[in-house]
Structure 1
Amino acid sequence: MRVQDMGVFGLLVLVMIFLFVRTGDAQINTFLVNCGSNSSVNVNGRKWIGDSSPGNNITLSSPGIEASTAVFNGDPVYEPLYKTARIFTETLNYTFQGAPGDYFLRLHFYPFAFQSYNANQSYFSVAANGLKLVSEFNIPREIIEKNNYWQGSWGNSTFSSLVKEYIFTVESNGILIDFIPNKGSFGFVNAIEVIPVADKLFVDAVKKVGGNGANSSISLSKRGIETMYRLNVGGSTIKPDQDSEFWRLWELDSGYMINPDAGSEINNKSNIIYASPNETSIAPLLVYETARTMSNTEVMEKRFNMSWKLEVDPDFDYLVRLHFCELIYNISSQRNFRIYINNKTAADNFDIFTRAGGMNKAYHEDYFDVISPQTSTLWIQLGPGTSTSVTDALLSGLEVFKLSRDGNLAPVQRYGNLEEKKSKRSLILWVAIGAGIAFIAILAAVVALVFWFCRKPSIKQIDGKKTSPGWRPLFHLNSAANAKGSPRYQNHSGFTASRSGRRFTLAEIKAATKNFDESLVIGAGGFGKVYKGEIEDCTLVAIKRANPQSQQGLTEFETEIDMLSKLRHRHLVAMIGFCDEQNEMILVYEFISNGTLRSHLFGSDLPSLTWKQRLEVCIGAARGLHYLHTGSERGIIHRDVKTTNILLDENFVAKMADFGLSKTGPSLEHTHVSTAVKGSFGYLDPEYFRRQQLTEKSDVYSFGVVLFEVVCSRAVINPSLPKDQINLAEWAMKWQRQKSLETIIDPRLRGKCSPESLIRYGEIAEKCLADEGKSRPTMGEVLWHLEYVLQIQGAWLQTNAEEISITASHPLVPPQDNEPEGQDTTNLDHQESDSDTKSKEDESAPKPTNEPDHIAGGAVEFSQMVNLQGR
């Protein structure tokens, strides 16, 4: 080696030694921190070090408070990590030693009760190396908002924890994370991830939406980034341990789509590679193995778009990252489409094959857009371009990142100023105290007036005789007792004067139920137990007794009495009377001998119903609901339609029951009733849940779930099944959209129902579950189409009588083979007790003709909610 070369080599060695010494401890390390603990835990194969463990290369500015819990109801994978937390009542700093560069920062929060610290009263801010991440942050409220959004969209998850993810650049040899509680409040954190990013995930030059394809510099290296959404389009959830480089979570996209039917899911797991070496860190190959395309042209207009709607924070800049991989075509110009972001063109004539350089090549594009202070929604749409007639597009993945402004990523005053809130609460408290004092004074005056009025002597003529002075009753009983000698309500404070129904004494109820003998219990629900009883004339009745611990109470009790006293219909359960003595709330109904519809579908030893019987039951229930919706000026919304609230009498005539949650419909000048969300888990209308706006179409949605339950004979929610089958309605809709509902029907129906009737039945159920109420049919339209389905089944039975073995007749039902097929047997031998009501029903109910038109409304995949107040 020449002397000159040796000198250069020596100089390089010295430089390397200098750099090594200079960097010292500033190594590029990953930090996984188990907060509030001095021990390590393993989660997903990764070791999380306690933040108070010795030698962990983490510095805490103050010890704070180490909190722990023995109760955990979140994701079991994270249980060892989320059962501890560090609470801080003053500013707390975490300092990590690390080299300059880009980092992922994830903050994990799982609120739990600890001593006197109530997470609902926790407000704090977080900053990382001076970058403000959140301000006046309240974890429970964030979780509630997330649950409301997800349940309002697709409802498969209930979150109990929260993870916030950020990406930022570190320019010094350290990372400082500040947790700052609001004055008089506190904060907490369960776990922290700090993961270095060796490869460049973002570039400064990005296409601006509406900028004619030109790149704009947005200086990402100097801006903090928050991950808002990361979606695996057309595929299943990709868990962090499946994204081994950065441990990112890729969620399902279907819940964010306006119409999932606008695109079909495709997959191809063979030979997918990255389009360039720079793509390898962008996303795992799992993202590119699945996609959505617009090839499902049977359910869309020729110029329809695939659309995703995402809630974002207003007045920020956003980076939208779209992931593509051509899985079908091996030549260019076979799939050209347009990309819209917030109704502005981001790209025209987009050809994945050409841009990625071939088939099965993973590729991404970034777009930049500005959200105004008045906007909180980000729309992503893919549709056919202007230069092609091909109605097709493809997308594999979608990410949305919020960009900081002036060192700030925190949305503006999400919950308002805490001190201002306290001041308002104090003002409200004093106003309430004053109002309470005034109310007590007024109440005392009213009581004195009533006392004087009742004691006032009066002379009355009764049967020609004068009465003596005495107490005047606060409610009056009809002097003419009913047939059995018991009085009826004439008037009562809190009850309407028009209410009818026998008022039973508690002694009569105890006699009828043998002092509430447990052997007479025939059912139980949210209100309480239901007993089989016998009143004095040997009439069998169902007696529903309120449970003091029930979430339902006086309001539901009065509502049910009020509703049923006004309603008389062959397909509604009749109320005989009630009892409200000694703090008891008891309702007495006609006894329905064959129990609930659900008990005849699954979960009992009862014989199966035939397809014809099931259709007749659905028609009967639909008639009852149609009467509720149209039988009065404003109509009545049931609000709790489900198979346990559809009862079957001795002739298997369906009767709607349980009106405790019912509401009078909107007046003519309104389109809905604004009310708190109530209903039953698995049946709740997602639009009602999102907007708290109740309409008759909410009953239609619930009835659509019932229709699928009837044909599939399984519970609407079954957590023991695989994930994609837990929710019956989602599972059934998946098969219905594929025109393959017969694949999942009750095996006892196979070969015994007309294929055409099943097709029409599935179409009705699908329309009922449209995400928007305006797209759903009315109950009258549902009834009309169900009657037509029954006609189809009847004709099929007659045509195939010699080829099939009809085992459908229920042992308890008289033989039906000789009945005129297509006729609704629920009308036979059951005369309406109220002839006026029957006439009204006959006039309002639609009649089937030879061939129905299509039901109004598009086929939209529904979103099933988790009902937080379910009965």
Structure 2
Amino acid sequence: MESILHLLFLLQFLPLLSSSESYNPQVEYFMNCGSDSNVDLVDLRNFVGDENSNLSFSVGKSNSVRNENPLPGILPLYHTARIYTKISHYMLNITQTGSYLVRLHFFPFSFKKTHLADALFNVSAPNFSLLSNFSVRNSSTEFPVIKEFFLTIAEGNFDIYFIPADETRFAFVNAIEAFLLPPKFFIDNLTAIPPLRTTDAALRTLFRINVGGPEINDSLWRNWVPDNDYLTFRSSEQASCNGEPQESRQRLVFKEIAPDDVYRTCRKVSIDNNGSSNIPNITWRFNVSKEARHLVRLHVCDFFSPSPGTVKFDLNISTNFSTVIDPNSDNVSDMSAPLFYDYVVFSDDSGYMSFSIAPNKMSIKKVAFLNGLEIMEFVGNSTFEVPAEHETRKHIALKIGLAGGMPDPDHISMSLKGSFGYLDPEYFRTLQLTNKSDVYSFGVVLLEVLCARPPIVNSKQREEINLVEWGMFWQKEGQLEKIIDPLLVGHINQNSLRKFGEITEKCLKPQGADRPNMLDVCWDLEYALQLQQTPAYREAHEDSTTTAASTDLALPPIQNLSYNMFPVDDYSDFNSFCSVFPTKSS
């Protein structure tokens, strides 16, 4: 199956200022969990023992454990841990709204008869599911395991919930970091097509690669690793750049975006005057989540152009998107000014994402290069709800009221009359409603709108009684158009209908864990709307055998939309993740 990749934005860059100094955040928490003593690291971080909670933080209902026989060389930070045997939360008092980097450290050890490697749990923050069914044993063969997130956090109490997978399991954490990022670390005056409510977005770091260079650590204590393990063909040239990354006179600069050491090395492929090259391109391949949305950031610094406009090269992401990278575009007077390019990429069902660069045939000097690469995954909305009885009753009542037409959420009909067509099938097994239950109900509503009929009807045809079963039968047959509202026949774009059917099918998955979050649903619906508003250019391959990949990419005027290739001249304070999208040029 071809990659499902949709380019939503292109080219956002900020030159960087060289600095080896550590960043001094205005708001910071470095917590040494389960300990009553502080740990000072050589990188100037001071982790405070959390045994004595105060007004700025609390550890929740938990136990402290200590490794009585740590192996030589293990940092004292990983000699202790905090264990949660029941749902509880770690609270940090946030004094300033903004974008935060949050890290969770996990280092398993044994304490009496308890083995931390046996832990299986979920981690949630307000609105977000950070980790699901997490086990250090299944996550890595090297310890510690450090999970890194970018979140927008509002002023007030910020709760990190640790949720054991079941009554026999537990959760643990060795250390927690949370600190405010520099202003404008992400730029928030940007838009996208389809639009994304990025105030509701969060990112989990998957890969941070120093292309062609060694492992390094930066001023935000982020680790950049070599690219050797991700190359598909290792004969590409490893180049050391001649010179220093320059500060552009036309842009604001941020030393924290990436360290200068990232821009001092790269991998390049070139074609000589005779038209020969040792390899045609350089390709990297990464394991990623299937059918997920990712933010990809590519770093380049042009030390190879003899003059402006002489070097352009081709970039391919997976198999379905290619563009030309022009490092000297947008009036950048300093050719050696570091740049980064941001993309939102949808992965396909293969579980891989590839990046390839090659010299452009029309370039005066035929060379392609890459200095750095970051891949972050958009995390899903949390299905976890605070376990308060009155909140649960209110949620159930509201759900039934919306589905069954009850006007008063304080009066619950235990017969659930009129609600069965909307209720999550998992509810009948667990008697619990979650956010993913709402997604299921919304999927039913989508079918109602499309087919102009209620979810349950009296019919002599047994297969037509339940709208979900009936609709999903025709969806799987690739003939959903047979049951749509007659008023829509002849007026609905086939690409849009196929996308709408895919969204509905995802919402109606039997298992809640397989359903998307509402953020993704809204995103996909906006895309379906874009398809509906786009003239359909139907090709022979667009019959019922068309794959999801091909329909997703069947948007002919995509390059005519004014969101790809323009500078951002105005920077406002960061308060959301709108930064990952470029603004339309005025």
Normalising by structure 2, report the TM-score.
0.56
2:300: which partner in 1? 324
Other-structure match for 1:108: 105
Separation in structure 2 between the aligned mates of residue 179 and residue 36 of structure 1, nearest angstrom: 15
What do residues 75-108 of structure 1 show as CA deviations (whole Å, max 9, x unaligned)?
x4x6111111112211231111112211100011
- Residue in 2 aligned with 1:263? 237
Structure 2 residue aligned with 1:384: 359
1:174 aligns to 2:157 (yes or no): yes
For the residues of structure 2 that align with 1:354 and 1:69, how far apart are their CA atoms? Answer: 59
Which of 244, 266, 270 pairs up with 1:295? 270
Match of 1:673 in 2: none
Determine if the alignment matches structure 1 residue 90 to structure 2 residue 64: no
Q: How does 1:519-538 map to 2 (within 5 A)?
A: none
Query: What is the distance in 2 between the residues matched to 1:62 and 1:361?
Result: 50
Q: Could you tell me which residue of structure 1 aligns to residue 184 of structure 2?
A: 200
Instruction: Provide the residue aligned with 2:261 in structure 1.
Output: 286
Residue type at the aligned position of 1:253: D
8 Å CA contact 2:203–2:377 kept in 1: the answer is: yes
2:139 alignment counterpart: 142
Contact map agreement 1:126 1:133 (CA 8 A) in 2: yes
Q: Is 2:38 the partner of 1:40?
A: yes
Structure 1 distance, partners of 2:361, 2:383, is 40
Partner SS state of residue 36, structure 1: coil
CA deviations 1:354-383 (Å, max 9, x no partner) are 3543222111110111123x2210111111
Rg: which structure is higher?
Answer: 1
* 1:217-256 equivalence runs, <5 A: 217-239=195-217, 243-244=218-219, 246-256=220-230
Residue 342 of structure 1 and its aligned partner are, at CA, apart by 1.1
Residue 177 of structure 2: SS of its match in structure 1?
Answer: strand
SS at match of 1:353: coil
Tell me, in whole angstroms, the C-alpha distance in 2 between the residues paired with 1:36 and 1:291. Answer: 42
Aligned AA (1:39): S
Counterpart CA distance in 2 for 1:300 and 1:89 is 63
- State the alpha-carbon separation in 2 of the partners of residues 81 and 93 from structure 1: 20
Quote the Cα distance in structure 2 between the aligned partners of 1:330 and 1:105: 42
Residues 1:171 and 1:271: Cα distance change in structure 2 (over 3 Å): closer
Counterpart-to-counterpart distance in 2, 1:221 and 1:327:
37
Whole-Å separation in 2 of the counterparts to 1:389 and 1:310: 31
Secondary structure of 1:357's counterpart equals coil
Structure 1 vs Structure 2: percent identity of aligned residues? 27
Give the partner amino acid of 1:141: N
Structure 1 unaligned regions, length at least 5: 1-26, 145-158, 209-214, 410-871
> Which segment is superposed worse, 384-393 or 97-106?
384-393
Partners of 1:337 and 1:270 in 2: CA distance: 22
Q: Which residue of 2 aligns with 1:575?
A: none
Alignment of 1:392-471 (within 5 A): 392-407=367-382
The CA distance in 1 between the partners of 2:133 and 2:75, in whole Å, is 27
Partner of 1:494: none
Aligned residues of 1:127 and 1:178 also touching (Cα < 8 A) = yes
Aligned ranges 1:543-562 → 2 under 5 Å: none
Q: 1:250 to 1:101 in 2, by over 3 A?
A: same
- Give the helix-richer structure, 1 or 2: 1
Q: Give, in whole Å, the separation in 1 of the partners of 2:313 and 2:104.
A: 38
Q: In the aligned structure 2, how far is the partner of 1:172 from the partner of 1:232? A: 34
SS at match of 2:77: helix
Q: Cα gap change, 1:300/1:229 in structure 2, threshold over 3 Å: closer, same or farther?
A: farther
- 1:205/1:217 contact within 8 Å kept: no
Residues 37, 85 of structure 1: 8 Å contact kept: yes
Contact 1:336–1:388 (Cα < 8 Å) also in 2: yes
Report whether the alignment pairs 1:58 with 2:57: yes
Work out whether residues 234 and 252 of structure 1, in 8 Å CA contact, stay in contact via their aligned partners in 2: yes
1:365–1:407: structure 2 CA closer, same or farther, 3 Å change rule?
farther
- Deviation string 1:190-249 (CA, Å, 9 cap, x unpaired) is 1110011132333468798xxxxxx6643333201101111111111112xxx22x2211
Find the aligned partners of 2:275 and 2:169 in 1 and give their Cα distance. Answer: 53
Matched, 1:187 2:162: no
1:12-45 alpha-carbon deviations (Å, 9 max, x no partner): xxxxxxxxxxxxxxx9520000011011011122
CA change 1:408–1:317 in 2 (3 A) is: farther
User: Over aligned residues, Cα RMSD in angstroms?
Assistant: 3.0
Post-superposition shift, 1:351?
2.0
**Pick from 263, 277, 287: which aligns with 1:311?**
287
Task: Tell me which amino acid in the other structure corresponds to 2:293.
Answer: D
1:781-820 equivalence runs, <5 A: none
Does the Cα contact within 8 Å between 2:53 and 2:59 map onto a contact in 1? no
SS at match of 1:361: coil
Q: Tell me how many residue pairs correspond in the alignment.
A: 356
Aligned to 2:124: 127
The 1:303–1:404 alpha-carbon spacing in structure 2 relative to 1, beyond 3 Å, is same
Residues in 2 aligned to 1:296 and 1:56: alpha-carbon distance in whole angstroms? 62
Q: Distance in 1 between matches of 2:208 and 2:290?
A: 19
Does structure 2 conserve the Cα–Cα contact (< 8 Å) formed by 1:206 and 1:367? Answer: no
| Aligned counterparts of 2:190 and 2:271: Cα–Cα separation in 1 | 32
Displacement of 1:52 = 1.1
Q: SS where residue 286 of structure 1 aligns?
A: helix
Is the 1:224–1:407 Cα contact (8 Å) retained in structure 2?
no
1:216–1:104 Cα change, 3 Å: same
From 303, 318, 342, the equivalent of 1:342 is: 318
Taking structure 1 as reference, are residues 46 and 296 closer, same or farther at Cα in structure 2, changes over 3 Å only? Answer: farther
- C-alpha contact (below 8 Å) 2:301/2:327 kept by paired residues: yes
CA distance in 2, matches of 1:201, 1:48: 24
Deviation of residue 326 (structure 1)? 0.9
Q: Equivalent residue of 1:81, what SS?
A: helix
- 1:49 aligns to what? 48
Highest RCO, 1 vs 2 (Cα 8 Å, sep ≥ 6): 2
Question: Which AA in structure 2 matches 1:226?
Answer: R
- SS of corresponding position for 1:340: strand
Greater alpha carbon shift after TM alignment, 112-121 vs 353-362: 353-362
**Residue matched to 2:571:** none
The DSSP-based 3-state class of the residue aligned with 2:235 is helix
Listed as ranges, the matches of 1:628-707 within 5 Å are none
The two structures have a TM-score, normalised by structure 1, of 0.38
- Asked whether the equivalents of residues 88 and 187 of structure 1 are also in contact (C-alpha less than 8 Å), the reply is yes
Cα distance in structure 2, aligned partners of 1:206 and 1:375: 31
Change (3 A) 1:56 1:307: farther
Paired letter, 2:48 = I
> In the alignment, which of 334, 338, 342 is matched to residue 362 of structure 1?
338
Q: Does the residue aligned with 2:223 lie in a helix, a strand or coil?
A: coil
3-state SS of paired residue (1:62): coil
Going from structure 1 to structure 2, the CA distance change for 1:347 and 1:296 (only over 3 Å counts) comes to closer
Match of 1:564 in 2: none
Once the two structures are superposed, residues 134-191 of structure 1 have per-residue CA deviations (whole angstroms, 9 ceiling, x without a partner) of 11111011113xxxxxxxxxxxxxx222110000111341211111112111121111
Give the secondary-structure state (helix, strand or coil) at the position aligned to 2:101: strand
Structure 2: distance between partners of 1:271 and 1:310 = 28
The residue that corresponds to 1:72 in the other structure is 71
For residues 377 and 205 of structure 1, what CA distance do their matches in structure 2 show?
31
Letter in 2 for 1:167: F
**Alpha-carbon offset, residue 408 of structure 1:** 7.5
Distance (Å, rounded) in 2 between the aligned partners of 1:321 and 1:58: 34
